[in-house]
Amino acid sequence: MPHRTDILDNQMVSEAVRRALEKWFAAVEPVDHPRELFHAPRAQALKKEIVRVGRKLWQREYVDGNGGNISARLSPELVICTPTLVSKGDLRIEDLSLVDLDNCLIAGNRPRTSEIHLHLEIYKQVAQAQAIIHCHPPYATAHAIAGLVPQPNLLPEQEVLVGPVALAPYETPGTPEFAKTVLPMVQQHNTILLANHGIVCWADSVSHAEWCAEVIETYCKTVMIASHLRLSLPQIPPNKVDELLAIKKRLGLPDARLPRLQSGEQKPRTSSEASLESAKGNGDVKLPLEKREMEVLVSIITAEILRATELRR
Ligand SMILES: [Zn+2]
């Protein structure tokens, strides 16, 4: 009889049939091997999110050719990642691979992204990181080429979701040396400009990592436009920046202006049992950006924008 993964890995199996088979397999045979986790419901949900976000990156022109890559942490030790030589606009669920933190291939049919080293180094360094996106949005990448970071404290969204911008030195893409360029700053910055290359963002989900890419790109673009209107740009007052930092702290987002992440917040790698539980969806890590907190954040930022608009009148 063919093995479960042989059936589920078969590209001839339609999505509807795959879903039905997964349910049946889950009922008759418990998941007990990392390769099997690749087909568990939580993994399937992450794969769909990666494919959806890949399309969004391509539509927003943040990736070009086969550029850019996306990954998501399935468990503390396992990562789902995009393949090499595929446009992010054309991604399919069956293109994705599963690797461990030592870059050993666990499951998948295509060669994984050459930038996997960058992703794995960040996952090893930052326990909070649940998803990573690397892409080349033009305005942020233009800053990375110029070796300039935009000045801080001009827009509340940037301060809360990203914060002061970091710039990592150039290294040849795809190499272990390139992966290590972000390590000195990745604990305190969820979004980093990569000199002469692009950006990398980590977050608690693939969708939120894409938000970081949108926020930094919009910030770089808007500040460039504003700089053409006026040389000296008025900043958000320091006491109001403190209020934004207080929101950021509550949301559990990193920032170089806040004390370094407490060691207690660095969740140690758990045993393989906990890893299996997490990947099955029974032991999910609590995400810092809850819906209620996002609503509070949006209302505070909206009030801040309205207040600034009133001041200008
Ligand atoms: Zn790149």
How are beta strands 198-203 and 191-194 bridged, if at all?
antiparallel
How far is the C-alpha of 19 from the C-alpha of 297, rounded, in Å?
36
Q: Are 249 and 261 in contact (CB under 8 A)?
A: no
Task: Say how many Å lie between the CA of residue 136 and the centre of ligand 1.
Answer: 6
Task: Say how many Å lie between the CA of residue 174 and the centre of ligand 1.
Answer: 8
* Residue-level pLDDT at 114: 86
pLDDT tier at 34 (50, 70, 90 boundaries)? confident
Task: Say how many Å lie between the CA of residue 196 and the centre of ligand 1.
Answer: 10
Which residue in 302, 298, 294, 260 sits closest to 128, CA to CA? 260
69-79 pLDDT per residue, tens:
999 999 999 99
Task: Say how many Å lie between the CA of residue 164 and the centre of ligand 1.
Answer: 22
Q: Is 191 helix (H, G, I), strand (E, B) or coil?
A: strand
Give the H or E element holding residue 134: strand 131-135
Catalytic annotation on 77? no
Q: Are 195 and 148 in contact (CB under 8 A)?
A: no
pLDDT tier at 305 (50, 70, 90 boundaries)? low
Is pLDDT larger for residue 273 or for residue 193?
A: 193
pLDDT tier at 13 (50, 70, 90 boundaries)? low
Task: Say how many Å lie between the CA of residue 46 and the centre of ligand 1.
Answer: 22
Task: Say how many Å lie between the CA of residue 52 and the centre of ligand 1.
Answer: 19
Contact residues for 8 (Cβ-Cβ < 8 A; gap 6+) = 18, 21, 22, 25, 39
Q: Does domain 31-256+267-312 have CATH number 3.40.225.10?
A: yes
* Residue-level pLDDT at 270: 23
266: pLDDT strictly greater than 50: no
Which residue in 186, 169, 184, 73 sits closest to 122, CA to CA? 186
Is pLDDT larger for residue 187 or for residue 293?
A: 187
Cβ-count burial of 215 within 10 angstroms (0-12 exposed, 13-18 middle, 19+ buried)? Answer: buried
Which residue in 186, 61, 65 sits closest to 132, CA to CA? 186
98-102 contacts at long range (C-beta below 8 A, 24 or more positions apart): 98/34, 98/35, 98/37, 98/38, 98/43, 98/74, 100/34, 101/77
Q: Is 111 helix (H, G, I), strand (E, B) or coil?
A: coil
Average model confidence (pLDDT) across the chain: 82
Q: Which of 36, 49, 115, 157 is catalytic?
A: 115
* Residue-level pLDDT at 275: 32
Amino acid in position 117: H
* Residue-level pLDDT at 298: 60
Report the chain's terminal Cα–Cα distance, integer Å.
74
Domain boundaries, the chain: 1-30, 31-256+267-312
Phi, psi values for residue 75, rounded to 5°: -150, 175
Average pLDDT over residues 23-41: 71
164: pLDDT strictly greater than 70: yes
